[in-house]
Chains A and B, each alone.
Chain A
Amino acid sequence: MSEGAPTAAETRRIAEEARDRVRFEEEALALSDQVYRVARRLVNSREEAEDLVQDTYARAFRSWQQYTPGTNLRAWLLRILTNLNIDRGRRQQRSPDIQPLEEGDYFLYNRLESTNPDENPDEERVLERLSQNAVVEALAEVPHDFRDVLVLVDIGEFSYAEAAQILDIPVGTVMSRLHRGRRILKQQLAEKAVSA
């Protein structure tokens, strides 16, 4: 019996690891649509989003053993993605603080209602006045710190706690950025709806 030959236990371990790895990769790939959906709105172009998702999967597949089976894989992937996005120096283009005037949560509705006083605005009609493009542009104009949270919670449907974990910030910060981000979004939408 030669010294270097793998034992039966070792062979089994290697086979198991290969199987776990394949399973991990399949589970991660099954989430790619959802990962892309979030990525697409964290950055401003399709190309950037595709690069980011590719880099995320390359890194995830390399470090798959750091993932704890049974935990939230989608959040784990998004954590890699947001870190990569921040590493890319995106923060350098940190936007100056948004306009000091910050409207309340009823602002958009009130604005839409007041620009169309003849009709009794039922909600659906009011929403129809926001084009899909207006929404995409308005979201892209929300400063990154707020947008990250907004996209994770309102587009990615992550909980506050998950968003906090992904971005490595306290839950309280998630809440305040989310609330403010939503207001900024509505402010942007109000401008677009009125100028349309």
Chain B
Amino acid sequence: MGCDCGDCEEMMQPYLDKVLSYEQMREAQEHLERCPPCEKRYRFEEDLRRYVRVAVEEPMSDGLKEKLAGLRSAD
């Protein structure tokens, strides 16, 4: 993999979710700048999340929309 930093792999999810402390965030960023293989994997993960979100999109049917509107109390 060109990089034996298991810590980096562990940090990926919290890093992308932006829940690391300021200090950890900076450490991770510094590492990513020096380590292209990790940087590539982080970018892949980010793209993957977006890709999944779009791929599973299935618009709601008009029929359901009408049914929901029909549940309202008022006319």
Contacts and interface: CB of A to CB of B under 8 A. Distances in A.
A123 B61 CA distance: 34
Contacts of A84: none
B9 A135 contact: no
B27 interface: no
Interface stretch (A7-15, A52-60, A87-95): A52-60
Which secondary structure dominates where chain A touches chain B? helix
Nearest to B63: A50
Contacts, number: 97
A29 B74 contact: no
Given A18-B74, A54-B67, A136-B56, A179 B13 contact: yes
Contacts of B68: 29, 32, 53-54, 57
In this complex, the member of A18, A105, A178, A182 whose beta carbon has the largest number of chain B beta carbons within 10 angstroms is A105
Given A50-B61, A135-B56, 18 more contacts: A18-B74, A21-B74, A37-B58, A53-B68, A54-B64, A54-B67, A61-B73, A106-B1, A106-B12, A108-B44, A109-B40, A123-B43, A123-B47, A130-B55, A132-B55, A135-B51, A139-B56, A186-B48
A58 B69 CA distance: 10
Nearest to A178: B13
Chain B's interface size range is 35 or more
A61 B68 CA distance: 10
Nearest to A151: B56
Contacts of A170: none
